[in-house]
Amino acid sequence: MEVILKKSKITAGILKQTVRCTREDFENAEILGWCKYDNFNYIVCYRSGSKTISKYPMWTSVETQQEGEEQFGPIKYNVVVKYSERFGSTSYAYTDEQECQKVFELFTKAKEAAIEKGQFYI
């Protein structure tokens, strides 16, 4: 039997100690919403299994790109996540177009879910 005796409020100190969200967090963890921390917006996720939270910088846009041609080697499909000027962008490369599309939709749904849950203040 498990008994939870204490509930914790998410504070700036707690958020500072969190790790960056992974793809698995967007797939399996609960998205709590978004908050402003260190002059930037973050999506915050909660993993109930490990009882931990994680954060991911809120992106301005996400898009897919195709690199290369079959005659010159394998085609790479990229999901490009663009942030503000402060963070630049991150690219995730895949050789499978369906996998690339799945990750693109995952990022899109995660941001929509965070906006739907709304902002919380720390």
pLDDT grade, residue 1 (50/70/90)?
low
Q: What distances in angstroms separate CA 22 from CA 3, 16, 25, 52, 73, one per listed residue?
A: 28, 17, 5, 13, 29
Q: What distances in angstroms separate CA 115 from CA 74, 106, 107, one per listed residue?
A: 37, 14, 12
Q: How far apart are CA 40 and CA 86, in angstroms?
A: 9
Q: How far apart are CA 106 and CA 94, in angstroms?
A: 14
Q: How far apart are CA 69 and CA 74, in angstroms?
A: 7
Of 47-51, 85-89, 92-96, 100-104, which range is least confident? 85-89
Residue-wise pLDDT tens digits, 4-17: 555 678 888 888 88
Residue-wise pLDDT tens digits, 91-115: 999 988 899 999 999 999 999 999 9
Q: How far apart are CA 47 and CA 5, in angstroms?
A: 18
Please, what is the average pLDDT of the chain? 86
Percent of the chain with pLDDT over 70: 91
- pLDDT of res. 2: 59
The 3-state secondary structure of 28-88 reads HCEEEEEEEECCEEEEEEEECCCCEEEEEECCCEEEEEEECCHHHCCCEEEEEEECCCCCC
